[in-house]
Amino acid sequence: MLSDPEEDDPPPRAAATKSAPLEHGVRLSRSLIWTLQRSFYERHGVEAWRSEGIPFHITSNTYIAQAYARVVLGWLRDWLPNNAPFDPTEPVTIVELGAGHGRFGYLFLKKLLRLLEGSALKDVRLQYVMTDLAERNVELWRENPRLKPFLDSGLLDLACFDAARDTELRLAVSGRVLAPGAVRNPMVMIANYLFDSIPQDAFWIEDGRLYESLVTVTPRRRETHLDDPDLLSRVDLSFHYNPVDPDYYGDPDLDALLSETSRHLPATAFLFPVAALQCIRAFRDLAGDRLLLLSADKGYHREEELVLGHGAPAITRHGRGSFSMMVDYRILGESFRRRGGEALQPSHRHESIVVSAFLAGSPPGGSVATRYRETRQAYQAAVEDFGPDDFFTLAPALDLVRDPLSLEQALSYLRLSAWDHRLLWRQIPLYKSLCAELTGAQKQELHDAVRQVWDYYYPLGEEEEDLGFELGILFLEMKLYREALDFFAESARLYGLEPGTAYNMGLCHYGLREMEAAARSVEQALELDPELDSARLLRVKLRRIELQ
Q: Give the Cα-Cα-Cα angle 104, 105, 109 (nearest 5 degrees).
A: 115
Cα separation, 455 vs 419, whole angstroms = 9
Rg (CA), the chain: 27
What tens-digit pLDDT sequence spans the chain (548 residues)?
Answer: 233 334 444 444 544 445 688 899 999 999 999 999 898 888 877 777 765 567 788 899 999 999 999 999 999 999 886 556 678 788 999 999 999 999 999 999 999 999 999 898 998 999 999 999 999 999 999 999 999 999 999 999 999 999 999 999 999 999 999 999 889 899 999 999 999 999 999 999 998 899 999 999 999 888 767 777 778 888 899 999 999 987 999 999 999 999 999 888 888 999 999 999 999 999 999 999 999 999 999 999 888 888 788 889 988 888 777 899 999 999 999 999 999 999 999 988 777 899 999 999 988 766 666 789 999 999 999 999 999 999 988 888 777 776 889 999 999 999 999 999 999 999 999 999 999 999 999 999 999 999 999 999 999 876 568 999 999 999 999 999 999 999 999 999 999 999 999 999 999 999 999 999 999 999 999 999 999 999 999 999 999 988 77
Residue 276 CA neighbour count, 13 Å, CB half: 32
Distance between CA atoms of 12 and 31, rounded to whole angstroms? 12
Kindly report the three-state secondary structure assignment for every residue of 368-420.
CCCCCHHHHHHHHHHHHCCCHHHHHHHHHHHHCCCCCCCHHHHHHHHHHCCCC
Q: Which of 472, 478, 480 is nearest to 503 (CA)?
A: 472
Q: Structure pTM?
A: 0.92
Q: Rounded distance, CA 203 to CA 271, Å?
A: 6
C-alpha of 409 from chain center = 28
List the domains of the chain with CATH numbers.
57-197+278-391 (3.40.50.150), 401-547 (1.25.40.10)
Which of 191, 186, 196 minimizes the C-alpha distance to 92?
A: 186
Residue 126: partners with Cβ closer than 8 Å, 6 or more residues away:
91, 92, 93, 94, 112, 155
Cα distance from N-terminal residue to C-terminal residue, the chain: 77
10 Å CB burial of residue 243 (0-12, 13-18, 19+) is exposed
